[in-house]
């Protein structure tokens, strides 16, 4: 059988404590493996145990200090030669997320407000997003809603009309919450009542432009009709 110099078969990116697998393809399969971390060769029986058999070598990586993180390299050698391209593993510490950014109020109505943000760095772990909604009272701000979502966009409903609300948006993962919070203010639309106070849902109205002699269709959110007056 033709001899094959070892080469990279699989590369994995790991974070924090992990079993790092270095898989290669080679013939003959009688291999000698080499490991380095940040270009320092790892010797046997050091703090990173290595187990090599056939086409796989595994290293049990544990970060004892912040200086242990970095780049792991693994390569193999057989009778045909040495692996030309090492397997690379970027090992970085996981932490709390950075927080959201570029938050904007997208839509407001009589009783709802929609907000959308861009996600920040997740800290190396899956993150979720939160918005806290506060209403101004005479004795300070009162928390009225706390919404969680898998994406940094929210539609908060059941709000009072014609009221200013304060939104605090942040993210979290299993390591903790983001230190930075984005703070926004937004108003719900004013409510208008008819003489009976009857609630009316209107989807569209038409606005006629006398200059351009054409109608424009405008979509509305919910609102209440104005009171009727006797002439």
E strand or H helix at 231: none
Q: Establish how many alpha carbons lie within 13 A of residue 133's alpha carbon, considering only the half-sphere containing its beta carbon.
A: 22
CA–CA gap between residue 77 and residue 24 (Å, rounded): 10
CATH class of segment(s) 7-93 = mainly beta
In sequence order, the 6+-apart residues with CB closer than 8 A to the CB of 8 are 24, 83, 85, 86, 87
The fold of the 101-188 domain, in CATH, is Immunoglobulin-like (2.60.40)
Q: Establish how many alpha carbons lie within 13 A of residue 57's alpha carbon, considering only the half-sphere containing its beta carbon.
A: 28
pLDDT tens series, the chain, 231 aa: 455 555 544 444 455 667 889 999 999 999 999 999 888 877 655 678 899 999 999 998 887 777 777 888 999 999 999 999 998 888 777 789 999 999 999 889 999 999 999 999 988 789 999 999 999 888 889 999 999 999 999 999 999 999 999 999 999 998 899 999 999 999 998 876 555 555 544 444 444 445 555 555 444 444 444 444 444
Q: Establish how many alpha carbons lie within 13 A of residue 169's alpha carbon, considering only the half-sphere containing its beta carbon.
A: 28
Same-fold call for 7-93 versus 101-188: yes
Q: Where are the domains of the chain?
A: 7-93, 101-188
Backbone angles phi, psi at 67, to 5 degrees: -85, -10
CA–CA gap between residue 204 and residue 201 (Å, rounded): 10
């Amino acid at each position: 059988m033709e001899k094959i110099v070892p080469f990279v078969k699989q590369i994995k990116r790991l974070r924090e404590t992990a079993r790092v697998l270095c898989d290669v393809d080679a013939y003959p399969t009688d291999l000698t493996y080499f490991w380095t971390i940040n270009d320092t060769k790892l010797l046997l029986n050091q703090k990173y145990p290595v187990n090599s058999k056939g086409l796989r070598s595994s290293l049990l990586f544990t970060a004892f200090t912040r200086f242990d993180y970095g780049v792991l390299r693994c390569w193999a050698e057989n009778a045909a030669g040495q692996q030309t391209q090492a397997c690379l593993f970027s090992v970085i510490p996981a932490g709390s997320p950075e927080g959201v950014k570029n938050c904007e109020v997208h839509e407001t109505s009589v009783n709802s407000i929609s907000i959308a943000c861009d996600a920040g760095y997740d800290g190396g772990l899956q993150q979720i997003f939160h918005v806290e909604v506060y209403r101004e009272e005479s004795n300070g701000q009162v928390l009225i809603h706390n919404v969680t979502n898998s994406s940094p966009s929210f539609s908060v409903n059941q709000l009072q009309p014609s009221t200013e609300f304060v939104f605090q948006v942040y993210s979290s993962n299993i390591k903790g919450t983001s230190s930075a919070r984005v703070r926004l203010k937004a108003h719900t639309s004013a409510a208008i009542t008819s003489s009976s106070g009857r609630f009316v849902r209107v989807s569209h109205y038409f606005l006629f432009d006398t200059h351009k002699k054409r109608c424009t269709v405008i979509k509305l959110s919910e609102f209440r009709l104005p009171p009727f007056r006797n002439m």
